[in-house]
Amino acid sequence: MSAPIHISDHPLIQHKLARLRAVETKPPEFRDLIAAISRGLLFEATRDLPLRPVEVTTPLAQVTCREIGVRIGLVPVLRAGLGMAEAMLEALPEASVWHLGLYRDHATLKPVTYYNKLPARSDMDLALVLDPMLATGGSAIAAINILKQHGTPKVTFVGIIGAPEGRDALRSAHPDVPIVLAALDDRLNDIGYIVPGLGDAGDRQFGTI
Ligand code: PRP
Ligand code: URA
């Protein structure tokens, strides 16, 4: 059986996604929106994390509480995943961050790996692969291949907008990997962009249009 695909219907995420898509939204606001949506998606993606008991002394009494029982890694796919990782790290400061540099060749649409900052030994229980756009799925699949070859036991993909083509490709390559998105759009156009989408997520974040 395949892992779940979760498309968030949270009103705050949908509200911010509308502004993120808008062509007039400039890089400073675009980055703020990526951050806000990512914080929301982090809560969705970590809903089933295992907890363990922890004893806490409040000013009044001792109480058994619960804390996260696994080591989590954030794996931003450069460049566009950087804003997602930064925002999630604020909510989960103990997470490690592993950077993976991949770009999509414009002619072939195939991912090219140019940077890999994984530590020598895998020490995380769950890796969240972060990339706002799941278009053909090639970049997500390549990033997850790298993590699995490196010995990462569990991986979740967290994106903002997906295309059906990317969802199907990722599902078929890595059926064990849950997918969390803010929206699943209609299709890819003939140059591999998601429609309606938001354009180029890296360029819009970093003002390189
Ligand atoms: C974009 C996006 C994904 C990839 C998605 O990156 O951030 O990494 O394309 O496309 P795919 O699903 O077809 O692989 P891009 O190659 O534009 O690099 P950038 O983030 O450095 O701009
Ligand atoms: N990468 C992007 O940034 N946007 C798309 O629509 C597809 C790939």
**pLDDT (tens place) for every residue of the chain, 209 residues total:** 899 999 999 999 999 999 999 999 999 999 999 999 999 999 999 999 999 999 999 999 999 999 999 999 999 999 999 999 999 999 999 999 999 999 999 899 999 999 998 888 778 899 999 999 999 999 999 999 999 999 999 999 999 999 999 999 999 999 999 999 999 999 999 999 999 999 999 999 999 98
Going by C-alpha positions, the residue among 72, 71, 81, 192 that lies closest to residue 143 is 81
* Residue 167: active-site member: no
Active site residue 186: no
The CATH number covering residue 107 comes to 3.40.50.2020
For residue 104, indicate whether it is catalytic.
Answer: yes
> Of all protein residues, whose CA lies closest to atom 10 belonging to ligand 1?
135
Task: Say how far apart CA 137 and CA 159 lie, in whole Å.
Answer: 11
What distance, in Å, lies between the first and last C-alpha atoms of the chain? 41
Which residues approach ligand 1 with their CB closer than 6 A? Answer: 77-80, 102-104, 109, 111, 131-140, 166, 192, 200-202
Alpha-carbon distance of 11 to 127, in angstroms, equals 26
Question: What is the total count of domains within the chain?
Answer: 1
Which residue's alpha carbon is at the smallest distance from atom 4 of ligand 2? 200
Q: What is residue 209's predicted lDDT score, i.e. its pLDDT?
A: 82
Residue 126 alpha carbon to ligand 2 centre in Å: 26
Pocket mutation for ligand 2, best pick of 193, 198, 203, 205 (most atoms within 8 Å of C-beta): 193
Q: How far is the CA of 52 from the centre of ligand 2 (A)?
A: 39
56, 62 contact by CB (below 8 A) = yes
pTM equals 0.96
Q: How many residues does the chain have?
A: 209
Residue 198, phi then psi, degrees to nearest 5: -150, 10
Range of the domain at 93: 5-206
Annotated active-site residue in 108, 168, 176, 186: 108
pLDDT at 8: 98
Closest atom, ligand 1, to C-alpha of 101: 21
| Annotation says 203 is catalytic | yes
Q: Cβ < 6 Å from ligand 2: which residues? A: 80, 133, 135, 193-194, 197, 200-202
Say what the pLDDT of residue 117 is. 86
SS (H, E, C) 22-87: CCCCCHHHHHHHHHHHHHHHHHHHCCCCCEEEEEEECCCCEEEEEEECCCEEEEEEECCCHHHHHH
